[in-house]
Structure 1
Amino acid sequence: MLSYQHAYHAGNLADLHKHALLAAALDYMTRKAKPLSYLETHAGRGLYRLDSEESRKTGEATAGILRAEAQGWLPADHPLCRALARIRMRHGATAYPGSPLIAEYFLRPGDRADLAELHPAEYAALSDVAGFATTYPRDGFQMAQALCPPTPRRGMLLIDPSYEVKEDYAAIPRQIGQIARKWNVGVIALWYPILADKRHDPMLETLMKAHPDALRSEVGFAPARPGHAMTGSGMWVLNPPFGLAGEAARLAAIFCAHE
């Protein structure tokens, strides 16, 4: 199944949570002079428009990043806010970056980026904006398994599936376990939706049992519309960079204050 299109959801509250943690992690990791590798298994199109028909149809960005910016949820010097400002200078005031362009803001000459996207239309759009990276029109887990451990060995992998296929919940712990055994120093970050039916719980229990020192960050929010099943956002991070647990706690408090 390849029906998922993130353009309808770009800039929602789940993106705010995920991207704030991603930006904080990369901000810390790129302070050291050593080069790093950045990989994504489900990169999407890389750049979205918050005035697009898709975005206006759901209103998720209005209730997400636009609300957060209007109400000052994050300080102006937050890594995500800095990345957003630079990207909007380049692409316009209504632009919202996917994780690849957030990563581009932090990556330096000598760093490596590898991005996979299987959806043909999304891959074509990604290719137009991701000249800084090597892009792959293939299954992202296959790419990660083939490239890990990457060179440079220091680095981060973001796994951000659409979860269109329910079997993903059972397969992901196995995939992460295999990658972690090959790349024991890699920062491996997994985004997942918090759903009313709690179908994510067994996956997280398996992951935490295998990797008890991993960071588990979860925030809650109201469903985007009546009947919508997502009631929060989760990020699970193996080998979290220094300070990321504190950032996760700050975000949890911010979301709680604005529920």
Structure 2
Amino acid sequence: MFSYRHAFHAANHADVIKHATVVQVLDYFNQKDGPYWVIDTHAGAGIYDLTDEWASKNSEHESGLDRLLGAKPPPMIARYLETIEQFNPDGEARFYPGSPWLALSLLRPKDRLRLFELHPTEFRNLGLNIASLASEDQKKIQTFERDGFAGLKALLPPPTRRAVTLIDPSYEDKSDYRRTLLCLQEALKRFPTGCYLIWYPLVQRREATEMVRALERLHDVNWLNASLTVHRPSRDGLGLHGSGIFIVNPPWTLQKSLKNTLPWLAETLAQDKFATFTLRSNEAQKQASKGVQKRSPSGK
């Protein structure tokens, strides 16, 4: 369970869709005066040097972030790139902020960041990175060296009654798919009005497909489901051919932003002609269901 290190995959195509969405959601939360929490169940080290041995081993950023640089992106991606530039004032895209650092760059003095990380090396690196921050930023953060799936429920509902929770395990362990679903279901019982972002991989695993189907069957919540495929699934059934982000209680502006962004991302990050995207919502399902109910038995 401790073999996964996010530095191997930092700034790849999956990070692009996930982190661009995180930035949009937090920008929306900042429009209201009330304080909020950001909770990350699988925080990693927080920030990554794309030139170190871990990130350069596979250089996955070359088919992700690097393809966006110098382009003319839609507003959602331009905003995402703007946040990354804050960590690279010399113009070189060397340091890549993970979800915790992206969130920290957007939090206001009254907002708070809560981070779970179970991997001992990643937790140690997270602590070292936090120690290098200014004292005012350190005061916003609390870390937990424990399983985020199990620990999340103790933080819900937050005292602010406003929170964005990111659930994005590695899914190297097949049980993560089931645990992600159960974690969300439990969180919604405790804090039904919270905003939840669930990242998931597009891989040829039955568990992955079943989890997404189960998420789309959630009742009494609003949701969006955006996915990005960058190449055809491999013949051997291995590897990541794309990823998705499932948002529960999304900002009302997010669907339009994703609709304008996903076609551009699919074209820009495409690795073959099979690159594509999907964008679904429970509202669309409701409308489709109403359309079926209005039809006569003859279908006319």
TM-score bracket for this pair, using the shorter chain length: over 0.9
The CA distance in 1 between the partners of 2:77 and 2:165, in whole Å, is: 25
TM-score by length of 1: 0.92
Q: Determine the structure 1 residue equivalent to 2:39.
A: 39
CA contact (8 A) 1:68 1:74 kept: no
Q: Deviations over 1:12-70 (max 9, x none)?
A: 00000100000011011112111111101000000101111222221210111011113
Which sections of structure 2, spanning at least 5 residues, go unmatched?
131-137, 271-300
Q: Determine the structure 1 residue equivalent to 2:123.
A: 123
In structure 2, do the counterparts of structure 1 residues 185 and 90 end up closer, same or farther at CA, with 3 Å as the change threshold?
farther
The CA distance in 2 between the partners of 1:90 and 1:110, in whole Å, is: 30
- Which is bigger in relative contact order (C-alpha 8 A, separation at least 6)? 1
**How many pairs are equivalent?**
259
Give the alignment's Cα RMSD to 1 decimal.
2.2
Amino acid at match of 1:219: L
SS of residue matched to 1:71: coil
SS of residue matched to 2:262: helix
For the pair 1:218 / 2:257, whether they are aligned, the reply is: no
- The counterpart of 1:154, out of the listed 162, 168, 188, is 162
The CA distance in 1 between the partners of 2:70 and 2:206, in whole Å, is: 32
CA contact (8 A) 1:60 1:224 kept: no
Which sections of structure 1, spanning at least 5 residues, go unmatched?
none
The CA distance in 1 between the partners of 2:228 and 2:167, in whole Å, is: 18
- The counterpart of 2:259, out of the listed 244, 249, 253, is 249
In structure 2, do the counterparts of structure 1 residues 91 and 111 end up closer, same or farther at CA, with 3 Å as the change threshold?
farther
Could you tell me the percent identity over the aligned residues?
Answer: 33
SS of residue matched to 2:109: coil
The CA distance in 1 between the partners of 2:67 and 2:259, in whole Å, is: 20
| Structure 1 range deviating more: 237-246 or 90-99 | 90-99
Q: Determine the structure 1 residue equivalent to 2:275.
A: none
Amino acid at match of 2:194: G
TM-score by length of 2: 0.80
Matches within 5 A, 1:157-236: 157-197=165-205, 199-211=207-219, 213-222=222-231, 228-236=238-246
